[in-house]
Amino acid sequence: MRDATAGGLTVTESVERLKRIHWSLKRLHFTLVAHIPSIPVYELKMAFSLHAHFCAEHVGEFASRVREMRQPPYGLEVSPDPMLELFFDEVLAAPSTESLLLGLYEHAVPAIVRALEHLMADTNRLFDHPTYRICRLTLLEMQDILQYGNDALRCLVKDTDRFALRDWLSTMDRLLAAAGDLDGKEAKSGESVARQFSATPYRYDPVPRRDERFKDPFNMGVNAEAMLFDGDVSPLPKTIMLYFKRMREIDVPEMMSSILTEVKGKPWEYYRDMTRQLWDEARHAMMGEVGFVSIEVDWTRIPLNFTWSLGLNTLLNAKERHAVLFTIEQGLMPKRTGKEYEWEVGVATADPLTAMIQDYDWADEILHARIGREWIVPEIGTQVEAMAYGDEAWSRILVDWKKWKEDGLTEHRNWWPEVYREACKHWGVEPEPALLAYNTTYESTRADLKEVASG
Ligand SMILES: [Fe+2]
Ligand SMILES: [Fe+2]
């Protein structure tokens, strides 16, 4: 009773704060997604995927709450404050890993956490309970982000980086002060702060970059599917190909980033679903990494190529990219040649971890095929038309196998024998001579085992 009678915010004041948090979460989501290809550190690609997924889920809740408060949905797209807009422009335009991490995890996320805490403390928990509730649930995940961010800053940002960026860091503080803090609760400083990094308009960089652990990124020297679907090969060695295929999926968040960044004007549910899928694909990559660690194989010896995300991001448009993704994922649904078969192989290896990786991968892919049917198929026509469209677009980026070799980008080195030997050591078995000799590349056969057209 004491709390409930103590007053609180008016509907107008509460909506004002909700709108600013909604808009900030949206900007944060976009910034995280946009940097997934170009940020080289693998763990940051994965973390940005998760953090973007958190934001995408909560953006929808805040938009719904605003609509419930006698507010028409419009106005949600507009910046609530020019200085706050500039603040997020600066984070987006941060030109290095260090500045981006500082902008995200030392400025933007703490400001959102503060805004959520203020709103929970200031609004009446009985009268405005739906607002209180979404803030509380959002806060939980924002605090997770903050904790990760603090760890990342400790690992990756040195005092000398901070010193070199001191002018910009003070600009970031002054921008928030000029906006009256992220939620507008404080008095505005009145200062008109000048743009720094965003003085040059931000341009999305679709070219994937990887850190130094990823070697030989054009290597397409070992065809995983040709062995995986070979009935004469026993299940256990196929474990390596399953883990390889999972971890190679780093390229899917890298590619989905470009769709999410370039496609404008869809309902928020589109961005939410696509970001959920993007995070699932990041999880698949990490599941593969976990697999390699479990069998003591040093995955840095395996070339995890980026030719798929590179090709799609630089040679195809967003509609074609999404269609390629759908074609591949819908193509994994048939019982004998897809995800169910991979799970059966996992079960047959008698390794519960491999079975579990494939069990969840299969479940996720069914969701992804549905997301594709919901969002890309209607844009193209029927499901059959969408798959033909994606198939044609995919074949266009696969014709450079020889050229990469001629250009000296890769030797397409056969990494299979050494990795197979390493895994056999862990399993305590002798490598099979016939399998040691495995030497099938992607030169003429693509991942769905279709012929690559020459040209
Ligand atoms: Fe996947
Ligand atoms: Fe998928």
One DSSP character per residue, 203-265 reads: ----S----TT---TT-----HHHHHT-TTS-HHHHHHHHHHHHHGGGHHHHHHHHHHHH--S
Buried/exposed code over 274-291 (b: 16+ C-beta within 10 A; e: otherwise): bbbbbbbbbbbbbbbbeb
Q: Does residue 112 carry a pLDDT above 50?
A: yes
Query: Global pTM?
Result: 0.96
- 283-292 tens-digit pLDDT: 999 999 999 9
Q: Give the Å distance between the CA of 280 and the centre of ligand 2.
A: 7
Nearest ligand by distance to the CA of 329: 2
Contact 277, 368 (CB under 8 A): yes
Both tokens assigned to 310? 């590179």
288-292, 374-378, 384-388, 394-398: which range is least confident on average?
394-398
Q: Does residue 455 carry a pLDDT above 60?
A: no
DSSP H or E run through 344:
helix 339-348
Nearest ligand by distance to the CA of 371: 2
Q: Give the Å distance between the CA of 177 and the centre of ligand 1.
A: 43
Q: Give the Å distance between the CA of 162 and the centre of ligand 1.
A: 37
Residue 333's identity, in one-letter code, is M
- 175-205 tens-digit pLDDT: 999 999 999 999 999 999 999 999 999 999 9
The residues, ordered by sequence, that sit 6+ positions from 344 with a Cβ below 8 Å of its Cβ are: none
Nearest ligand by distance to the CA of 342: 1
Mean pLDDT of 258-281: 98
Q: Give the Å distance between the CA of 362 and the centre of ligand 1.
A: 8
Q: Give the Å distance between the CA of 182 and the centre of ligand 1.
A: 36
Task: Report the pLDDT value the prediction gives residue 400, as an integer from 0 to 100.
Answer: 81
Q: Give the Å distance between the CA of 302 and the centre of ligand 1.
A: 19
Q: Give the Å distance between the CA of 286 and the centre of ligand 2.
A: 14
Query: Three-state SS for 451?
Result: strand
Residue ranges in 266-338 assigned as alpha helix (H): 268-294, 307-315, 318-330
Chain-centre distance for alpha carbon 389: 25
Q: Give the Å distance between the CA of 63 and the centre of ligand 1.
A: 29
Phi-psi region of 138 (alpha: psi -120 to 50; beta: other; left: phi over 0): alpha
Q: Give the Å distance between the CA of 276 and the centre of ligand 1.
A: 12
Q: Give the Å distance between the CA of 158 and the centre of ligand 1.
A: 35
Length of the chain: 455
